[in-house]
Chain A
Amino acid sequence: MLLLNASGCLDAVTAPEVACSLDAFVTKTVTPEPRDGNAPVRIAETDYGMLNAIGLANPGRGTFIAQTLPQLRELGVSVWVSVGGFCVRDYVETCAQLDDVTIELNLSCPNVDEAPESAAEIVAACREVTANPLYAKVSPHSWDMGETVRAIEAAGADGISMINTLRGVALDGRLQPKLARASGGYSGPALKPVALAAVMAARRATELPIVGMGGVQSGRDALELIACGATHVALGTVLFADHDAPQRVRAELLEEATRAGFARADDAYCTALETVAKLAN
């Protein structure tokens, strides 16, 4: 199992020591052109999570490849590049320019307009131009996760990352949206059951590696994702509150695995699905 960060939840240039405490660092999403992101206010806490409407702020593909990526390579941590866009060509052109990284296609940002093509179409087009490991980050909003994942696998993806944030709204005391864009991506502890269900549904549909994420605060949460079929685990919102979370979650993961009767966390892989399969028979 690898422990990663969720894209957009860590900046390895400003916090290299945190990035190096992970098995791989996932960049903030890179788009062809530079983006300032959405107007503030961009974040709001809710009772059980937080909303963000950052809007893919990034320096753009050219600056990222020329300046940021060399800085990241110097850190010595394995780099995953999150690639975003507004049409299939945006994704394809960025993928074609990336070497020696794992690519995670962000097909599910709730804070920008979506590309008109389907996730599988984008994956298929990117597959044609890159031999790098190719992950697809999918939305939890899919009605049929199994079908979505099978289509992405058929299109040539090497793995699935899930889940991205859920779209949400928070209101202030005057009943006005707290975020300037009104809605944002909902993350934090409240997401865990949604993530567990999505990973479980995806695992039933594919044997591809799955990076499970959504509401992980503790080693126990990470172990639950593994039990539902996640191969790897990513930390998101928890990194905002606790940049020591990678070491803590790793230590807790081993403790929790032992408590649940496993020698290693990986031994808990898919155990929740086995129970479901037994019930179904």
Chain B
Amino acid sequence: MSRPRRERRSVVAVEAVGPYALVRVERGGIDPGVPGQFFMLEAPGRVLPRPMSLCLAPRSELAFLLDPIGPGTQALAALDVGASIAVFGPLGNGFRLDVPRPLLVGGGIGIAPLPYLAEALEHPPAVLGFRSEHHAEAAALLPNAEVVIDPVLVTEVMQTDRDVLACGPEPMLEAVRALCPEAQLAWEAPMACGYGACYGCVVEVEGELKRLCVEGPVLCSS
């Protein structure tokens, strides 16, 4: 597994993708890690960094898709080209890639790790769900994906006889797990440190509290 590093990296571009922002930073000596792993990004002016899974790993860059809905993500989306932020990672456990019949399932900003994952798995089928047409513009990051828009849910259209790798809001993950108990699910929680120090990022999975930053963020449900 690649060793996490913390380096100050320059912002190469911040691109709008529907309502989301794709923040691209210079890669430097940082390893992009396994799809589903995450990085702590310094959010200028905030006390805590923000955990973001890697969306794309073009040569010499790391790109993160984020939804600018709070002060930290808004500060990241407002970064100027050339500004520098501390980037720490890769952290946590990513997706297992040894799956014979992968199907990627994403909901909303939960599609963030899927483009990099699709690349690693040589572009398997994918189902993406969004709450509006505007949000669904982000599906451009995953060409050929089947896209559904609320009120249609990903669980209504996904094939259940495949190896599901999913990321999205908690209710979606719960619904995916109900259909595919073996699915690999990438969870999300507020996180302070990203490296096991704070015990803040626990989620309850099947009655057990899991520290997402070191035991996840990708957890197998059974």
Known contacts A40-B202, A54-B199; is A241 also within 8 Å of B190 by CB? no
Let me know if B195 and A188 touch, CB within 8 A: no
Cβ–Cβ contact B49 & A15, under 8 A: no
Q: Is the CB of A54 within 8 A of B195?
A: no
Given A37-B209, A45-B46; A15-B189 close (CB under 8 Å)? no
B46 touches A52 (CB 8 A): no
- Which B residues are CB-close (under 8 A) to A37? 199, 202, 209
Contacts A43-B200, A49-B47; is A15 near B192 (CB within 8 Å)?
Answer: no
A52 touches B197 (CB 8 A): no
Give the number of residues in A that approach B within 8 Å (Cβ atoms): 35
Contact A28 B203 (CB under 8 A): no
A47: shortest Cβ distance to chain B, in Å? Answer: 8
Q: Could you tell me if B49 and A241 are in contact, using CB atoms closer than 8 angstroms?
A: yes
B49 touching A14 by the CB < 8 A rule? no
Q: Are B47 and A241 in contact (CB under 8 A)?
A: yes
- Name the residue of chain B whose CB is nearest to the CB of A178: B190
Contact of A45 among B47, B88, B203 (CB under 8 A): B47
Residues A41 and B196 in contact, CB atoms below 8 Å apart: no
- Evaluate whether A50 and B6 lie within 8 angstroms (CB atoms) in the complex, with A237-B47, A242-B86 already known: no
- Return chain A residues, CB-CB under 8 Å to B200: 42-43, 52, 54
Q: Is A14 a contact of B197 with CB atoms below 8 Å?
A: yes
Give CA–CA (A46, B201) in the complex, Å. 16
- Chain B interface residue number, banded: 20 to 34
The B contact surface, by secondary structure, is loop
Select which of A15, A47, A188, A244 is within 8 A of B197 by beta carbon.
A15
Q: How far is the CB of A202 from chain B (nearest CB, A)?
A: 26
| Max count, chain B CB within 10 A of own CB: residue among A13, A46, A243 | A243
Does chain A have a CB within 8 A of B198? yes
Residues on A with C-beta less than 8 A from B193 are 239-241, 243
Which B residues are CB-close (under 8 A) to A46? 47
Asked if residues A243 and B6 are in contact (CB atoms below 8 Å), the reply is yes
User: Is A107 an interface residue when CB atoms closer than 8 A count as contact?
Assistant: no
Expressed in whole angstroms, the Cα–Cα distance for A39 and B209 within the complex equals 8
- Is A44 part of the contact surface with B, judged by Cβ < 8 Å? yes
Interface pairs A-B: 5 shortest CB-CB: A14-B196, A43-B200, A240-B193, A240-B192, A54-B199
* Interface positions of B (Cβ within 8 A of A): 6, 42, 46-49, 71-72, 86, 88, 189-193, 195-204, 209, 214
Q: Could you jot down 16 A-B contacts, CB within 8 Å?
A: A14-B195, A36-B209, A37-B202, A42-B201, A42-B202, A44-B190, A45-B46, A47-B71, A54-B200, A57-B199, A239-B193, A239-B197, A241-B42, A243-B6, A243-B88, A243-B195
